Amino acid sequence: MNDLLKQQDLVNNPQARVPVCLCLDISDSMNQIVGGETRDTGRAEFRDGQMWKIVEGGVTALDEMVEGVRSFYANLKEDEVASFSAEICVVTFGGTSPKLVMDFANLNLQSEFPDLTADGETPMGEAVNLALDCLEKRKQEYKDAGVDYFQPWLVLMTDGAPNGSKSELERACKRTSELANARKLSIFPIGIGNEADLKTLAKFSPRRAPLRLKNMNFKGFFEWLSQSVSRTSQSMPGEKVELDTTKIPGWAEL
Amino acid sequence: MSWKSICGATQGRGHKRKNLPCQDKVAQLEKNGVHIIALADGAGSAKFSHFGAECVINSVANFVADNFYNLLAENNGLKVKQQILNTALNALSGEMQMHGCELADLASTLLLAAADEDNFFLAHIGDGVIGYLNEGGLKVASTPDNGEFSNVTTFVTSKDAQAHMRIYKGALKKITAFILMSDGAEQSLYHKRTGTLAPVVVKLMHRTCLIAGNILTPQIADALNSVIAANTQDDCSLAILARPSEILPPINFLPISERQQLFKITGNFLTRRTRNKILLCDEICNFLKNPATLRQIARIFHLKILPLKKKLQTLLDAGVIVKVGSHYKIA
């Protein structure tokens, strides 16, 4: 034991936070079957801008994404530093409007990630605006509480193209571009499957090109993301955190 | 009463894991009647920042010691900032040649406090905190310059270093101590929300006055390593410049429990035996305000040489007295 200092003599400053916002597409098209055994019902329906053959059973893109997000949480909780630093917020877009599924909080205080249901349209612009509003609100809360924080991250995942309000989409692209150019936001646009509109995704991200997820490998992507968040949470002033690009080909088509 | 200084730096847990050197560097200097402490935190991403940090503190500390009165007399703050930056950058250019590296590879912050009997000068670039103590209590002179995000700060080598550099000068009046800390130590000793220093900093300042540097230095190193470094991944360092005053009084003004701790006497001070041991140490320390030999002390306290020598060795080990040649005196 040290005579000069004891832990109880020290001030208790909270650990610097890494705010991460996941902005996830749960429009009807995320019900597409990507694996598992299926049985054809013989029916077909027009949903989310496309004609779909209706089947029973199988694993949907949404199932894979939810499992990926849950593994993201689990990986971060296992990391000594990231479990206290990382804060995740989840915004989904489906139906007619975006929804805040999980607001920012310490990982250990957040409830379990819920099951999601895919339906409706792709109001992507509205969702990104809601995500940015949540980020701004959280940053202000950090400032008010004297909590240091790292540059926020925004992950945008979609399997299609936006079909919400055009003005909201333009406003969202402008906001993310301005923040990314000012190095105040790291944005990761990820296309799911061949129908994802990478050209629109690129409009959100002037500094980092969108990537297309390979073979629905959500798990690979979220594993890479948790490792990147973990490295950022341990970085120190003046330390430039390089993303591990060598592992990207494992989950993305380059 | 004269200034005394203490400093220490320890490798952070993150650097231990990555097998990187401690990039926090500290220096203390007394020259031309000017006492200086300096601290620099090498940038995590700069591969030779530990060399850069060392170079910056040594060059700037010597420059301030040699030009202390000119810096105080100069009313053009920009000129003072430029002189300090030029000193650091000139020294770093030598390091660049030595290591065959770029200037950015040597990036570090800079914190410095200098004082003579009446005046002080402070300089700060980047994160970390400069604090001081006067009759009004512990105060913060210069706060961390972190920008918006946690892993961003300004370095001596940054293009905008001059614009971000902060300097302060003035009459000491009742300022009796200064502390410099890196952002690693800041995590434990500076409350970011309230912008205040941990009260225990006063204890560290007081010990700087009361305990010999050779005894206190390893204690500070252990406190950094075993207590402060446990709260961060980063390297941790601090430097203190302090002199005795009404706020940092001599040992005999301290409560008996604290004196017992300082004299390394075990037992319950409520018992006569322990209390007498403490009182004897009090009297010896009081007598040793003026240097004295072993025989002179023995004569005054009517003690035999051997037990007195043992007692004095205990006080030497505790750091409250020092031995210079054949004379003992208070630290």
The answer to whether the Cβ–Cβ distance between B193 and A6 falls below 8 Å is no
Contact residues, chain B, for A237 at CB < 8 Å: 41, 43-44, 109, 126-127, 146, 150-153, 183
Q: Which residues contact B29 (CB under 8 A, 6 or more apart)?
A: B35, B36, B37, B38, B61, B62, B65
Is residue A96 classed as helix, strand or coil in its secondary structure?
A: coil
The answer to whether the Cβ–Cβ distance between A7 and B149 falls below 8 Å is no
Q: Which domain holds residue A44?
A: 15-253
The answer to whether the Cβ–Cβ distance between B198 and A81 falls below 8 Å is no
Residue A112 lies in a domain: yes
| A184 at B interface, C-beta within 8 A | yes
CA–CA gap between residue B17 and residue B224 (Å, rounded) = 17
According to DSSP H, which parts of A31-165 are helical?
61-78, 82-85, 124-145
The answer to whether the Cβ–Cβ distance between A10 and B227 falls below 8 Å is yes
Contact residues, chain B, for A85 at CB < 8 Å: none
How far does A17 lie from chain B, in Å, by closest CA? 8
CA B92 to chain centre: 24
CA–CA gap between residue B12 and residue A237 (Å, rounded) = 13
DSSP code, position A30? G
Pair B287, B303: CB distance under 8 Å: no
Residue A86 lies in a domain: yes
pLDDT in tens, chain B (331 residues): 689 999 999 999 988 888 889 999 999 999 989 999 999 999 988 999 999 999 999 999 999 999 999 999 999 999 999 999 999 999 999 999 999 999 999 999 999 999 999 999 999 999 999 999 999 999 999 999 988 888 789 999 999 999 999 999 999 999 999 999 999 999 999 999 899 999 999 999 999 999 999 999 999 999 999 999 998 889 999 999 999 999 999 998 999 999 999 998 988 888 999 999 999 999 999 999 999 999 999 999 999 999 999 999 999 999 999 999 999 999 9
The pLDDT, as a whole number, for residue A104 is: 94
Which of A5, A10, A238 lies closest to B46 in CB terms? A238
**pLDDT tens column, A67-95:** 999 999 999 999 888 898 999 999 999 98
Structurally, how many domains does chain A consist of?
A: 1
The pLDDT, as a whole number, for residue A237 is: 66
CA–CA gap between residue B20 and residue A186 (Å, rounded) = 27
How far does A27 lie from chain B, in Å, by closest CA? 34
At A113, which CATH number? Answer: 3.40.50.410
DSSP code, position B42? B
Tell me the torsion sign for CA atoms A157, A161, A167, A171: positive
Point out the residues of chain A with pLDDT beneath 70. Answer: 1, 237-240, 254
The answer to whether the Cβ–Cβ distance between B227 and A240 falls below 8 Å is no
Contact residues, chain A, for B261 at CB < 8 Å: 3
Is residue A172 classed as helix, strand or coil in its secondary structure?
A: helix
Residue B178 forms beta bridges with which residues? B132, B241
The answer to whether the Cβ–Cβ distance between B227 and A146 falls below 8 Å is no
Residue A2 lies in a domain: no
| A149 at B interface, C-beta within 8 A | yes
The pLDDT, as a whole number, for residue A24 is: 96
Contact residues, chain A, for B42 at CB < 8 Å: 238
Residue A134 lies in a domain: yes
Contact residues, chain A, for B45 at CB < 8 Å: 238-240
The answer to whether the Cβ–Cβ distance between A4 and B223 falls below 8 Å is yes
Residue A19 lies in a domain: yes
CA–CA gap between residue B292 and residue B298 (Å, rounded) = 10
Which of A10, A147, A241 lies closest to B231 in CB terms? A10
The answer to whether the Cβ–Cβ distance between A238 and B153 falls below 8 Å is yes
Window A:27-46, CB contacts with B under 8 Å: none
Which of B191, B222, B234 lies closest to A236 in CB terms? B234
Nearest CA in chain A to B205: A4
| B153 at A interface, C-beta within 8 A | yes
Q: Rounded to two decimals, what is the model's pTM?
A: 0.86
The pLDDT, as a whole number, for residue A254 is: 61
The pLDDT, as a whole number, for residue A3 is: 78
- Give the tokens for residue B322: 């020092």
The answer to whether the Cβ–Cβ distance between B194 and A7 falls below 8 Å is no
How far does B228 lie from chain A, in Å, by closest CA? 8
How far does A155 lie from chain B, in Å, by closest CA? 19
Strand bridging mode B236-242 / B4-10: antiparallel
Residue A202 lies in a domain: yes
Q: Which residues contact A170 (CB under 8 A, 6 or more apart)?
A: A125
Residue whose structure tokens are 């000017």: B34
Among B113, B165, B159, B105, CA closest to B139: B113
Domains by residue range for chain B, with CATH = 4-242 (3.60.40.10), 251-330 (1.10.10.10)
Residue A114 lies in a domain: yes
Beta strands in chain B (DSSP E): 4-10, 24-31, 34-41, 110-115, 119-125, 129-134, 137-142, 166-171, 177-181, 190-191, 196-197, 236-242, 292-293, 321-324, 327-330
Among A30, A29, A20, A28, CA closest to A65: A30
Pair A164, A31: CB distance under 8 Å: no
The pLDDT, as a whole number, for residue A87 is: 95
Contact residues, chain B, for A236 at CB < 8 Å: 12, 14, 44, 151, 183, 233-234
| A239 at B interface, C-beta within 8 A | yes
Contact residues, chain B, for A10 at CB < 8 Å: 188-189, 198, 200, 227-228, 231
Contact residues, chain A, for B207 at CB < 8 Å: 4
DSSP code, position A13? P
Among B279, B264, B270, B274, CA closest to B313: B264
CA–CA gap between residue B89 and residue B85 (Å, rounded) = 6
Interface test with B, best of A81, A236, A241, A243 (most B CBs within 10 A): A236
The pLDDT, as a whole number, for residue B50 is: 96
Identity of residue A120: G
Residue A140 lies in a domain: yes
